[in-house]
């Protein structure tokens, strides 16, 4: 028994997904494929194996290996799993009220993986999310890039880089949310000043680290907050920056340029007013659309047209749910609303997939249907931008994590009694339905 327990631990720590992935080839036959990286393919075939995309193309061009598990998906649409660059599911808590800048705080220490929000997320077709701490601080902590594999611990959801480190960014904010009584800043200029001071400290810390390279005894005392900021300064960690008003957007870009860090603008309600400047700076934008302007002064000029205007100006545009601000089940709706207000259809679909993947440094692994990428995809009943379309299945790394025909999954997709309850413990490697 003890060995089984140890084995289970091992399985968790080496990552469920790789062990989970079917060793057989799965062939999805007859759907309209929307690869995002290329033109749509009607009557296509998608082959996946070992959690990766093997091949895709027009049915007549693809040889289905004998023994492949065949899925008839004719009349359906397959597109990449959606990527949400800004998300708060899991009952998270980041920085506390002790100060406005807390880079030492890691959001993944606070995520409840049994939160029902995770089920709603996959029901909406989202396979990768960036969970962030909130916007009530200038810098509220480290964010976490997660795969919606299902899992018992947060480690099961981590996306690891080549060195095995859990990937994530840094959450920053300016404007009104992060302004309050001392020690928080009371004005915009003070906000900028506090941030600049902190990065100057991080630069000094980095220099000390570099100087001590050949002599570890000269290393500065460890400061886990400054360590994270050094990763920002080295370009290893992207700054995800909450910002609404046009002048706040410019301030974000000014300070990012001063310290030469990589930044993604988030929300960007007034981005349409400074689209040219954003495009010239080459800074990507992750936009949120809500159904009306206002709610606070700095969102008064929020326009549904914003993503379309940014797209036209040449800005890389993603969208995000900001879940719980909008619900993960309605993420495709946001793409459709962007298209309604002038974004191209292709741009709107890219904004919820590949563009978002690129903004979290995962453009080479997810976000489009391409051979070699993770087998993260969704099967839709029809046009991705139609209100009547349903997400039928969501697959992550070659494993089905949502199936609308399963009553329990459907409950999370549409709601109903019990839909708000915590999820049952997730049993790795055990399939309840089949009793295996």
Partner 1 sequence: MNTRLILIANALIGLCLFSPTASAQVAVRGQTVYTMSGDSIANGVVVIVNGKISQVGPANSVTIPAGYRVLDAKVVTPGLIDAHATVGLSGILNYKHDQDQLEHSAPIQPELRAIDAYNTQDELVTWIRTFGVTTVHTGHAPGETISGQTMIAKTFGNTIDDVTLVESAMVAATLSPSALKKGKPKSPGTRGKQMAILRAKFIKAQEYKNKLAKAEDDKKPDRDLSLETLALVLDRKMRLLITADRAQDIASALRLAKEFNIDIVLDSAAEAYLLIDEIKAANVPVIVHPAMYRAVGDRKNQSFETAGMLKHAGISIALQSGFESYVPKVRVVLFEAAIAAANGLTFDEALASITIDAAKLLRVDNRVGSIEIGKDGDLALYDGDPFEYTSHCIGTIINGQVVSEKKR
Give the footprint of partner 1 on this chain (CB under 8 A): 116, 120, 290-297, 299-300, 324-327, 330, 333, 336-337, 339-340, 385-388, 414-421
Measured N-to-C along each axis, helices 407-414 and 116-123 cross at an angle, to the nearest 10 degrees, of 90
Least distance CB 186 / partner 1 (angstroms): 17
The SS3 of residue 76 is: coil
Q: How far apart (Å, rounded) are the C-alpha atoms in residues 240 and 356?
A: 12
**Residue (156 or 248) nearer to partner 1, CB:** 248
Q: Give the C-alpha separation, 285 to 264, whole Å.
A: 6
Query: What gap in Å lies between CA 403 and CA 405, rounded to an integer?
Result: 5
To partner 1, the closest distance from the beta carbon of 99 in angstroms equals 25
- The DSSP secondary structure of 312-381, one letter per residue, reads HHT--EEE--TTTTS-GGGHHHHHHHHHHTT--HHHHHHHTTHHHHHHTT-TTTSSS--TTSB--EEEES
Encoding tokens for residue 75? Answer: 């009349």
In the complex, minimum distance from the CB of residue 326 to partner 1, in angstroms, rounded to a whole number: 8
> Could you give the CA distance from residue 259 to residue 420 in angstroms, rounded to a whole number?
44
Q: How far is CA 330 from CA 82, 309, 320, 334, 414, in A?
A: 11, 22, 10, 7, 11
Based on its alpha-carbon atoms, the radius of gyration of the chain, rounded to whole angstroms, reads: 22
How far from 220 is each of 105, 213, 215, 225, 227, CA to CA, in Å? 20, 11, 11, 13, 11
Token couple for 357: 């993947």
Nearer to partner 1, 328 or 356 (CB): 328
Running DSSP on this structure, what letter comes out for residue 326? S
Smallest gap, in angstroms, from Cβ of residue 250 to partner 1?
23
**CA atoms within 13 A of residue 233's CA, in its CB half-sphere:** 21
With left for phi above 0 and alpha for psi between -120 and 50, is residue 342 left, alpha or beta? left
Distances (CA, A) of 161 to 99, 132, 357, 395: 30, 18, 14, 21
The smaller minimum CB distance to partner 1, of residues 237 and 329, is found at 329
The gap between the terminal CA atoms of the chain, to the nearest Å, is: 18
The H or E element containing residue 87 is strand 82-87
Tokens representing residue 243 in the block: 């910002």
Instruction: Give the shortest CB-382-to-partner 1 separation in angstroms.
Output: 11
> Measured between alpha carbons, how far is residue 50 from residues 22, 69, 342 in Å?
6, 13, 39
Q: Using the minimum distance from each CB to partner 1, give the nearer residue, 34 or 142.
A: 34
Asked whether the beta carbons of 368 and 351 are under 8 A apart, the reply is no
To the nearest whole angstrom, how small is the minimum distance from the Cβ of residue 306 to partner 1?
14
Which CB atom, from 52 or from 345, has the smaller least distance to partner 1? Answer: 345
Closest CB to partner 1 among residues 240, 333: 333
Q: To the nearest whole angstrom, how small is the minimum distance from the Cβ of residue 324 to partner 1? A: 6
- Tell me how far, at minimum, the Cβ of 415 lies from partner 1, in Å: 4
Q: How far is the CB of 11 from partner 1 (least distance, A)?
A: 32
Shortest approach of partner 1 to residue 330 CB, angstroms? 7
Q: Which of 179, 200, 170, 168 is nearest to 100 (CA)?
A: 179
Cβ closest to partner 1, residue 116 vs residue 255: 116
Cβ closest to partner 1, residue 88 vs residue 106? 88
Cβ proximity to partner 1: between 59 and 385 the closer is 385
- The angle subtended at Cα 141 by Cα 136 and Cα 145, nearest 5°, is 115
Do the beta carbons of residue 211 and residue 219 sit within 8 Å? no
Q: How far is the CB of 383 from partner 1 (least distance, A)?
A: 9
22 versus 406: smaller Cβ distance to partner 1: 406
220 or 415: CB nearest partner 1: 415
């Amino acid at each position: 028994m003890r060995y089984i327990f140890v084995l289970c631990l091992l399985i968790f720590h080496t990552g469920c997904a790789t062990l989970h992935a079917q060793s057989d080839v799965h062939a999805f036959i007859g759907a309209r494929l929307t690869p995002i990286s290329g033109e749509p393919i009607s009557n296509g075939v998608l082959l996946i194996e070992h959690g990766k995309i093997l091949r895709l193309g027009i049915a007549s061009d693809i040889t289905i290996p004998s023994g492949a598990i065949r899925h008839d998906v004719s009349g359906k649409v397959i597109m990449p799993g959606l990527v949400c660059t800004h998300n708060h599911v899991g009952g998270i808590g980041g920085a506390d009220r002790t100060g406005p800048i807390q880079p030492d705080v890691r959001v993944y220490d606070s995520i409840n993986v049994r939160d029902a929000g995770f089920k709603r997320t996959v029901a909406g077709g989202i396979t990768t999310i960036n969970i962030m701490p909130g916007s009530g601080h200038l810098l509220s902590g480290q964010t976490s890039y997660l795969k919606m594999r299902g899992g018992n611990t947060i480690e099961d959801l981590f996306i690891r880089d080549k060195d095995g480190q859990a990937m994530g960014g840094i959450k920053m904010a300016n404007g009104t949310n992060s302004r309050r009584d001392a020690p928080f800043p009371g004005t915009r200029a003070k906000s900028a000043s506090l941030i600049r001071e902190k990065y100057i400290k991080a630069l000094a810390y980095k220099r000390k680290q570099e100087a001590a390279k050949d002599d570890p005894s000269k290393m500065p005392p460890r400061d886990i907050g400054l360590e994270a900021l050094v990763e920002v300064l080295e370009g290893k960690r992207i700054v995800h920056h909450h910002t609404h008003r046009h002048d706040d957007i410019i301030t974000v870009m000014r300070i990012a340029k001063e310290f030469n860090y990589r930044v993604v603008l988030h929300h960007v309600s007034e981005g349409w007013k400074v689209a040219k400047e954003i495009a010239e700076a080459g800074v990507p934008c992750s936009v949120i659309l809500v159904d009306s302007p206002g709610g606070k002064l700095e969102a008064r000029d929020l326009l549904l047209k914003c993503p379309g205007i940014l797209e036209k100006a040449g800005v890389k545009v993603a969208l995000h749910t900001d879940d719980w601000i909008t619900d993960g089940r309605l993420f495709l709706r946001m793409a459709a609303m962007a298209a309604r207000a002038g974004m191209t259809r292709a741009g709107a679909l890219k904004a919820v997939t590949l563009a978002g993947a690129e903004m979290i440094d995962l453009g080479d692994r997810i976000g489009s249907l391409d051979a070699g990428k993770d087998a993260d995809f969704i099967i839709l009943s029809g046009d991705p931008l139609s209100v009547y379309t349903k997400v039928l299945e969501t697959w992550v790394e070659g494993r089905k994590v949502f199936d609308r025909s399963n009553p329990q999954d459907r409950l999370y997709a549409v709601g109903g009694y019990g839909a708000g309850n915590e999820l049952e413990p997730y049993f790795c490697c055990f399939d309840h339905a089949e009793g295996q």
